[in-house]
Structure 1
Amino acid sequence: MALRLKSQWHNEDSERTLSEIGGAIAFNAWRLGMDKAVTLHSKHFTYRDDEQRLAVIAEYLIFQALAVERMTASSLTDDERRELVTAIVLKMADHFDENSQALLGAGDYRSKFISVFNQRASEYAEHGYTDEGPTYPFLRHLGYEIQQTMGESQENRWVIDQVMDVDAPELIKQLTRIVKNLFT
């Protein structure tokens, strides 16, 4: 079944703020992150519980936010990029908090997500991103973080390969299309 994503505005003539664009990107990123978590499960990788599944989705979200930051480096000023990424991350944190509370019960999942984002942002900063997309180390970092989150059980031993070779490239292709369409 194809994943339905919102990558076009209903009223294309009106001007959109970076905050509105960031909200739309975050909405789609949440759907993509959930889809990739489901894909891992369908490929017989296993989750211990919903908390672990949400942690994997968080890694996909963070990867996407940082990819958008890199994608827009040549088209937006530093201040505009900062505004866009802030809007994306705050909306992602809202989605993460809402879904975590529904599955895990009360808690401050929003702050936890933002804290992990800040940590990962400094880690991903060491890895390149070209016009063709994320470099091997950028992809490997996502795969590594997901493997660490899921554990190195026999079932999950090759999850890093699935993420790097299949899931992340597909995700980047979809995300690139979304970002391009929302800015036009």
Structure 2
Amino acid sequence: MALPLKTKFRKKGPKTLEDRASVVATNIWRIAQEAVRHMEKEGYPLGGDRQVTSVITEIIAFLVQCSDRIVFGQLNEEERGRFINALSKHLARITSVNLEEFVGPGAYAGDFINTLNARFVDYSEFEFNGRNPSYSVLRYLGEKVSRAMDATDSKWVLEQVVDVETPELIKAIKKVVGEVLGVQVS
């Protein structure tokens, strides 16, 4: 992924967990957008703005889950909860602003949060190998993205997501979370 990630703060001084979550959220949005652009360049056409948004939302949910697994055991439970909550709220705001621009006025944050919560439940059923998602997690993401792209009739979406996109997504999220929070990522 040739996307430059922004992990440094411009202003000096102490940063709250919520400040750090905001930086991670902005990067997650950019990473998800870049993955969608890459898929389109690779010949996986996306339909309208709603389909693009559905795919981005699935990738975001995956990246938030990865973020949670990265910080697990490195932040105490209260800090971890604050981080994931702030991360989700920032992402809901970013998604709402972008959807209003893409699709038009609407109340998008609620649907986004509902999707995130549903995916948190789903992903909790899968194993991670330490801080790395297992194949079943990758396949689940691939299935969700494939389902979101049903109208495009691209039968190789699942393989593209699992084999090509997720290694780059994982590498990017580990870099962002590691650098912004100062935690171990391997």
Same fold at TM > 0.5: yes
The CA deviation at 1:153 is: 4.7
Secondary structure at 1:120 match in 2:
helix
1:3-62 deviation line (CA, Å, top 9, x unaligned): 1211122356x2221111111000000000000011111111111211100110111111
The letter of the residue matching 2:178 is K
Match of 2:89 in 1: 90
The CA deviation at 1:86 is: 0.6
Match of 1:5 in 2: 5
Distance in 1, Cα, partners of 2:4 & 2:24? 13
Match of 2:124 in 1: 125
The CA deviation at 1:139 is: 0.8
The letter of the residue matching 2:102 is L
1:117-174 deviation line (CA, Å, top 9, x unaligned): 11111000001112351111111111110000001654x1111111111111111111
1:175 equivalenced with 2:149 (yes/no): no
Q: With structure 1 as the length reference, what TM-score do the two structures score?
A: 0.94
Contact 2:36/2:56 (8 A) holds in 1: yes
Match of 2:32 in 1: 33
Distance in 1, Cα, partners of 2:152 & 2:85? 35
Secondary structure at 1:5 match in 2:
coil
Equivalenced residue count is: 182
Distance in 1, Cα, partners of 2:129 & 2:10? 31
Match of 1:137 in 2: 136
Distance in 1, Cα, partners of 2:110 & 2:180? 28
Contact 2:70/2:131 (8 A) holds in 1: no
Match of 1:108 in 2: 107
Structure 1 window deviating more from structure 2 (22-31 vs 145-154): it is 145-154
Q: With structure 2 as the length reference, what TM-score do the two structures score?
A: 0.93
Distance in 2, Cα, partners of 1:107 & 1:8? 33
The letter of the residue matching 1:8 is K
Distance in 2, Cα, partners of 1:82 & 1:124? 16
Q: Measured at CA, do residues 18 and 126 of structure 1 come closer, stay the same or move farther in structure 2, by a change above 3 Å?
A: same
In the alignment, structure 2 segments of 5+ residues that lack a partner are: none
In the alignment, structure 1 segments of 5+ residues that lack a partner are: none
Secondary structure at 1:75 match in 2:
coil
